[in-house]
Amino acid sequence: MLEERFAELAGEWRAIVRAPAAPSEDAFRALQAEAAAIRASGNWVSGPGDLLSILGRQRDELFHSRLIGWLLNPSGRHGLGDRFLCAFLAEAWPGEAIDTDGAVDIALEWPRSGVSEATGLTVEARADLVITLESLVVVVENKLDAGEQADQCERLYWPWAQDPVETRWVFLTPSAREPVTATSDVARAAWRSLGYAQVQRALDRALDGAPERPGDTGRASAMQYLATLKAQRRP
């Protein structure tokens, strides 16, 4: 009985599985023409689609700092107003109301010196990004691929620590890791870690809440940067 059933099943499979047709030059040319038509129509695509990746700058720390700084400026041509600024601050300090009314200044690569109360020595540092509001200053250190320099976050803390205006510090990395170069207790406690996924979320939220501006180059640039952030998170 089992042999008969096996033979029956084998016959069924032979009926289903047919030998492939012998290759021919006509079949190859037809397939070639079909592939060419798909490419010509733009439906066969590969490679990066966002501008920074096309330029090979998707891991360039300075490019990211400049774009984030541009987005943080409420009067930037992105047309987002203070939506990204508010969303960025909310990611760093969720649930806290931070006043963003009044003048906003965004500075890149800001050098400054100050005296460390931990050592009594003068320290010098250069902040990647400084956000100055009327009632708050936020110092941002952006680390994409490069490691921290010697005592870098400790040195970035003291030049702004004695300011009369409240100052906060953000350590921005792809993984939202904590800095390892803040050595004093007061400096370690001051730094807030933030990840690029949170920057993406803030920009997504800002774009969703902004009015449509079809054809606007500033809005297109903001959307291009969002595309870069999303592309960098894909496995």
What is the C-alpha separation between 104 and 82, in angstroms, rounded? 9
Q: Is residue 172 part of a domain?
A: yes
Closest CA to 129 of 151, 114, 144, 150: 144
Q: Which two tokens stand for residue 131?
A: 């956000």
DSSP code string of 133-192: -SS-EEEEEE-SSSPPPTTHHHHHHHHHHT-SS-EEEEEEETT-PPPS---SHHHHHHEE
Domain that holds residue 213: 58-233
Predicted TM-score (pTM) of the model is 0.85
Q: Residue 191 pairs with which residues in a beta bridge?
A: 169
Q: Is residue 223 part of a domain?
A: yes
Q: Is residue 229 part of a domain?
A: yes
What's the full length of the chain, in residues? 235
Cβ(84)–Cβ(203) below 8 Å: yes
Q: With left for phi above 0 and alpha for psi between -120 and 50, is residue 23 left, alpha or beta?
A: beta
Q: Which two tokens stand for residue 161?
A: 């620590």
Closest CA to 88 of 109, 108, 73: 73
> What per-residue confidence (pLDDT) applies to 19?
61
Domain total in the chain = 1
Q: Is residue 51 part of a domain?
A: no
Q: Is residue 50 part of a domain?
A: no
> What per-residue confidence (pLDDT) applies to 57?
93
Mean pLDDT by 10 residues, the chain (235 residues): 76 70 79 87 90 94 97 97 98 95 96 95 97 97 95 97 95 97 97 98 96 92 96 75
What is the C-alpha separation between 113 and 75, in angstroms, rounded? 29
> What per-residue confidence (pLDDT) applies to 26?
82
> What per-residue confidence (pLDDT) applies to 34?
87
> What per-residue confidence (pLDDT) applies to 4?
80
> What per-residue confidence (pLDDT) applies to 77?
96
> What per-residue confidence (pLDDT) applies to 1?
65
Q: Which residue has the tokens 């963003």?
A: 100
Q: Is residue 14 part of a domain?
A: no
Q: Cα separations (Å) of 33 from 17, 21, 39, 105, 149?
A: 28, 19, 10, 57, 56
Closest CA to 232 of 83, 60, 62: 60
User: Residue 9: which residues within 8 A CB-CB, separation 6 or more?
Assistant: none
